[in-house]
Structure formats: structure tokens, C-alpha cells
Amino acid sequence: MTSPAPVRIPATLIPGDGIGPEIVDATLAILEALEAPFDWETHVAGLAGVTQHGDPLPAATLASIRKTRLALKGPLETPSGGGYRSSNVRLREEFQLYANLRPVRTLVPGGRYEGVDLVVVRENVEGLYMGYEHFIQIGDDPHAVAIATGVNTRNGSNRLLEFAFEHAIATGRKKVTIVHKANIMKALTGIFLEAAQQLYEKKYKDKIAMDTVIIDACCMKLVLDPSKFDVLVTTNLFGDILSDLVAGLVGGLGMAPGANIGTDAAIFEAVHGSAPDIAGKGIANPTALLLAAALMLDHVKLGDKATRLRAAIDAVLNIDKVRTGDLGGKNNTKEYTQALVARIRNA
């Protein structure tokens, strides 16, 4: 008797800008070796969206994600200062992807720290990222004054905090640390701290430990001894900065995946950007996007394939010792990809 054909899963694929297409190609080859049952709809955004359709977030891309509710995304370029608003931020707003889950783990021993295993859970749609900002002209200086308004709500804080506590408990974590700056931004980040303390008292105090720390002290403590932390939960801008910091604890941005999870959709990506300095050279490390693909496999309940993918990465980095330059290795993206495909096929 033949076994039934596996259920196919429609998903949107955004190759992205800079190194995006290179690491997405590597990821697709490895997902194919894993026989991951995704049916990809490929669409553009970011700079590729502007170049091809005159729009950093074309309607067809949005329509595809609205339909599939699932996307794997390469990094998207955003101009600094002027220019178009970030397509990443717009995607998170459009699909209310309110929880940004960014796990980091030591994959290559022998770095500055051993055994790092942290998760940053970042509020993803509120705070200072809302882009409520403007300049005020004084005399002939149009940029004499800059003003930004952040918005955090009790509802927005609560839904993110609830997600973070539930995720921490479900994954066997021991402690949740609330990261804030409520000593200075008493309203903007005070509301997040207050919501955390109230929710913890009401629902989670018998299930997991919680402590609180101010963002600046948190950065210092993380660099001194990351083992003091487990799950870090924070507001949008602090979460963005902290996730790059913790990526640095495990070998850099090439190792840090991210999941943007909401009520309407989930989008998986690397924490890093389009790395224009190495784009087109074939040397980018695709591990961050591969680990994002593993989070995506977990999300669609294909945890066995996610486990195989993580095991292959571990074996290629530590047994085969095939590593890209950012990890001190001599291999390029293609050689690393081939080693992973071989590991998966021969497992």
C-alpha cells in the first residue's frame, strides 16, 4: 500500500535584497533535501520591489501573504534618513505580527562564551517604531528640531507578554526577564513593566520565575555573563538592539534567526540585514535564514524536519568543520550549502 501524499503547504517567498537571494537559494536547496512540502509563491519587496514595481511593498506581495499567511523572507533594504519607510515594519503592521521571537544558541564552541542559549521576545508593532516623528524648522534650518512619539498600549503589551510567558513555559524555560527603561521613560516603558508585573501576579507566578532589569544594565550584564539570562522580553526598539547584541554573543549576525508571529500571519527571517558590503560575493552565511526556516517548520508542525535541519547545521559546523568566513572558516555559501545537503541526504 502506498502512503498518502504529504499535505502541501502554500507559502510566500521573498528573496530580498543584497545577500538575500544568495541565502534564500541556499535555504531552498536545503529545504528541498529535507523534502519540506512548501509550495512557494515568489514575490518581491524592499529595494527589489522599488526596482521592479516602483513600490517597496507591492500589492501582489501583500495579497500572497494574506492568502498563505506564511512567509519566508530575505532581508530588505531600507534607506537611512529619508526615502521610503521600512517594508519590514510595514509588513509587521499590516499582518499584526506583534511577537518577534529571536532565539540564539552557541553553535560553534570556542567563542568568547560557551553554552549561550537565550531568547529575545520583542514587541513588534508599537513603541518608537511607529514612525510618528517630524522635524521643526527654525529660521532657515528645516531640521533644527526632531520629535518622535512612541506609543505602547496596555493591550499591545499584554498580548506580547502573554505570548512570551506561554512560549517560555511551553519550551521549558526557567526565567523571564522584563527589560525596560521605566526609570526615565516612565509612561512609555512604564506601561510595559506594569503590564508585566500585573500579568505575572495574576497568571504566571506559580509557573515560571520573572525578574526585571533596566536596558542599560541588561546590556552590561549580558556581555559579562549571558548565562544569567534565559528569556528576555522587551519593547520594540530595545528588542531590536538586544537581538543584535545577543547575536554577537554566539558568533555574529549570521547565526541569529527571527520569527514574526501574529494573529493573521507568520513571517520568518534572519535578524541581519541585506549586508551590502558582501552582497554578490557568494560568501554570506545562510545559517540565520536556515534557522529561521527551522522555526517555520516548527510553526507548521513539522518539528522532525526542523530537528534534522538543526542537527545537520551542528554536524557541518562542528564535525565537517565547513564554515563561512564570518565564523573564521574558509568556505563559501555554496560549499557550506553542499555540505548541509550531503549531511541531510546521508543522515
**Site residues (CB under 6 A) for ligand NAI?**
19, 23, 75-78, 88, 253-254, 269, 272-278, 284-285, 288, 326
Which residue, among 239, 262, 251, has the nearest Cα to 179 in the 3D structure? 239
Q: Is 129 an active-site residue?
A: yes
Shortest gap between Cβ of 45 and ligand NAI (angstroms)?
A: 9
Q: Is 117 an active-site residue?
A: no
Shortest gap between Cβ of 141 and ligand NAI (angstroms)?
A: 27
Write down the catalytic residue from 129, 200, 204, 336.
Answer: 129
Write down the catalytic residue from 39, 141, 216, 304.
Answer: 216
Shortest gap between Cβ of 53 and ligand NAI (angstroms)?
A: 18
In the complex with ligand NAI, the residue whose CB is nearer, 76 or 210, is 76
Q: Is 181 an active-site residue?
A: yes
In the complex with ligand NAI, the residue whose CB is nearer, 33 or 76, is 76
Burial, 161: exposed, middle or buried (Cβ in 10 Å; 0-12, 13-18, 19+)? buried
Q: Is 216 an active-site residue?
A: yes
In the complex with ligand NAI, the residue whose CB is nearer, 43 or 180, is 43
In the complex with ligand NAI, the residue whose CB is nearer, 195 or 247, is 247
Write down the catalytic residue from 181, 200, 204, 336.
Answer: 181
Write down the catalytic residue from 17, 230, 240, 326.
Answer: 240
Shortest gap between Cβ of 159 and ligand NAI (angstroms)?
A: 22
- The residue at minimum Cβ distance from ligand NAI is 273
What is the DSSP secondary-structure string of 286-342?
A: -HHHHHHHHHHHHHTT-HHHHHHHHHHHHHHHHTS---BGGGT--B-HHHHHHHHHH
In the complex with ligand NAI, the residue whose CB is nearer, 41 or 77, is 77
Q: In Å, how far are 83, 229, 335 from 47, measured between CA atoms?
A: 11, 37, 28
Contact 112, 249 (CB under 8 A): yes
Residue 294 makes CB contacts below 8 A (sequence gap 6+) with 257, 306, 309, 310
Mind spelling out the 3-state secondary structure of 144-199? EEEEEEEECCHHHHHHHHHHHHHHHHHCCCCEEEEEECCCCCCCCCHHHHHHHHHH
Give the span between the Cα atoms of 130 and 167, in whole angstroms: 25
Residue with cell string 552590561:
220
Helix (H) or strand (E) holding 249: helix 236-249
Shortest gap between Cβ of 221 and ligand NAI (angstroms)?
A: 24
Shortest gap between Cβ of 261 and ligand NAI (angstroms)?
A: 15
In the complex with ligand NAI, the residue whose CB is nearer, 77 or 230, is 77
Active site residue ranges: 129, 181, 216, 240
